[in-house]
């Protein structure tokens, strides 16, 4: 698609969406105005977005992976390890996103979030339970006002291949059912075709549909492939109003790698420096061990900075990670590995 054609399509989509209500149009116009001011352009065309995104400094793959590797060699021991494990637990979005999810499964997961380790009531709770939109009410019912949030994936997760109207209805359903947070996916097809305006407009529209719910935007970095793309997608999503940028759906491999997360941490750091607004980061998928989680926390600490070291600004999208963290936590407490039989769970892990 040519840039002009992409602009035309984007404008048409925007027009269609904006036709809904005047209020919506005002909200979107404000988002566009904000973006125009930041880019310093009179019209937020696809060409303007392209110039801006392609003007960001490149990422050298070898150097980026070397830096991630170096951060991974930090040796976190004793008291700092205990602190990091508790922090990691409190940052988990405990997730189940399967076709065979049932109310029972979701209730079990929510109960696990409320009492991660029945043998030790001092264990912190995960930040949220993350489910499909139709399971939000069930999770909400169990979690109540415990403080553990309900996050819902929406916008035709995981592929995102549906009309914007369907995506917005998906979001509205989840929000109405009581979701505190929405995890949307970007249109990777549009992004890879260079149609940045469409990606921008969809994030703006979904953000509006979220109301007070926080919006996490999944870029599916495994499909964007290059670190340059990850950096551009991160800035594009932040420009469009994402509260969080998130790596992956967990359905595509590779998912959350440390170098990809490093590029995103650089993006939120530089974004705050540019605009004064702090944005969260959520690596999701493929982080299974405490050792890995600690490496990510080291990267957060040394790249974005200590301001991001709290659940409001950094999350892990994970399912089995929690049990490994609990196992390590028990080991620090009793001085020996207990084993899977001592980690209570509805879907017990057999890994250890």
Partner 1 sequence: MPTFEYAPASESRAVVDIRSTYGLFIGGTFVAGTGGIFTTVNPATEEPLAEIAEASAADVDAAVKAARTAYTRVWSRMSGSDRGKYLFRIARLLQERAREFAVLETLDNGKPIKETRDVDVPLAAAHFFYHAGWADKLEYAALGPDPRPHGVVGQVIPWNFPLLMLAWKIAPALATGNTVVLKPAETTPLTALLFADLCRQADLPPGVVNIVTGAGPTGQAIVDHPGIDKIAFTGSTAVGKMIARSIAGTRRRATLELGGKAANIVFDDAPIDQAIEGIVNGIFFNQGQVCCAGSRLLVQESIADTVIKRLQRRLATLRVGDPLDKNTDVGAINSRRQLDRITELSAAGEAEGALRWDSGCPLPDKGFWFRPTVFTGVAQTHRIAQEEIFGPVLSVLTFRTPGEAVAKANNTAYGLSAGVWTEKGSRILWMADQLRAGVVWANTFNRFDPASPFGGYKESGYGREGGRHGLAAYVVTGEGA
Q: What are the strands of the beta sheet with 214-218, ordered from one edge?
A: 280-282, 244-246, 214-218, 181-185, 149-153, 128-132, 92-95, 316-318
Q: Please check whether residue 260 is in contact with residue 227, taking contact to mean a CB–CB distance below 8 angstroms.
A: yes
Q: Which stretch binds partner 1 (CB under 8 A): 17-25, 120-128, 241-249, 298-306?
A: 298-306
Q: Using the structure block, give the residue that is written with the tokens 């600004």.
A: 313
Q: Please check whether residue 227 is in contact with residue 263, taking contact to mean a CB–CB distance below 8 angstroms.
A: yes
Q: 59 vs 150, which CB is nearer to partner 1?
A: 59
Binding mask 17-56 vs partner 1 (x if CB under 8 A, - otherwise)? Answer: ----------------------------------------
- Check the CA dihedral 24-25-30-32 and report its sign: positive
Q: 157 vs 235, which CB is nearer to partner 1?
A: 235
Rounded Cα distance between 182 and 167, Å, is 12
63 binds partner 1 (CB under 8 A): yes
310 binds partner 1 (CB under 8 A): yes
Among 3, 9, 141, 301, which residue sits at the site for partner 1 (rule: CB under 8 A)? 301
183 among known catalytic residues: yes
266 binds partner 1 (CB under 8 A): yes
Q: 140 vs 269, which CB is nearer to partner 1?
A: 269
Rounded Cα distance between 199 and 219, Å, is 10
Instruction: Give how many residues touch partner 1 by CB under 8 A.
Output: 29
Residue among 337, 332, 324, 335 nearest 293 (CA): 324
Q: Which of 207, 216, 246, 295 is catalytic?
A: 246
295 among known catalytic residues: no
Among 2, 21, 42, 73, which residue sits at the site for partner 1 (rule: CB under 8 A)? 73
167 among known catalytic residues: no
- Show which residues are catalytic: 183, 246, 282
């Amino acid at each position: 698609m040519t840039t002009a054609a992409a602009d035309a399509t984007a404008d048409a989509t925007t027009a269609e969406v904006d036709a809904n209500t005047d209020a919506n149009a005002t909200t979107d116009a404000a988002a566009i105005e904000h973006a125009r001011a930041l880019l310093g352009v009179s019209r937020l065309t696809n060409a303007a977005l392209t110039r801006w995104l392609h003007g960001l400094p490149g990422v050298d793959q070898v150097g980026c992976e070397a830096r991630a590797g170096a951060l991974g060699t930090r040796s976190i021991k004793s008291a700092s390890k205990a602190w990091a494990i508790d922090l990691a637990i409190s940052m988990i979005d405990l997730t189940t996103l399967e076709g065979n999810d049932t109310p029972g499964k979701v209730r079990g997961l929510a109960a696990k979030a409320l009492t991660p380790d029945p043998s030790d009531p001092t264990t912190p709770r995960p930040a949220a339970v993350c489910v499909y939109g139709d399971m939000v009410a069930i999770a909400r019912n169990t979690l109540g006002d415990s403080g553990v949030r309900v996050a819902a994936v929406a916008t035709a997760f995981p592929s995102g291949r549906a009309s914007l109207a369907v995506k917005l209805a998906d979001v509205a359903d989840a929000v109405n059912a009581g979701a505190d947070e929405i995890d949307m996916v970007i249109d990777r097809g549009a992004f890879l075709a260079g149609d940045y305006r469409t990606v921008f407009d969809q994030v703006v529209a979904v953000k509006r549909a979220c109301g007070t719910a926080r919006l996490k935007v999944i870029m599916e970095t495994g499909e964007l492939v290059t670190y340059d793309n990850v950096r551009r997608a991160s800035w594009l999503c932040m420009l469009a109003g994402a509260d969080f940028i998130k790596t992956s759906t967990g359905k595509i491999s590779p998912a959350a790698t440390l170098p990809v997360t490093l590029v995103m941490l650089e993006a939120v750091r530089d974004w705050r420096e540019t605009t004064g607004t702090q944005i969260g980061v959520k690596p999701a998928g493929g982080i299974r061990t405490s050792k890995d989680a600690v490496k990510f926390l080291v990267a957060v600490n040394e790249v974005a900075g200590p301001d991001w070291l709290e659940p409001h600004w950094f999350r892990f999208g994970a399912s089995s990670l929690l049990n490994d963290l609990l196992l390590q936590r028990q080991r620090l407490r009793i001085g020996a590995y207990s084993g899977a039989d001592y980690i209570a769970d509805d879907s017990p892990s057999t890994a250890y």
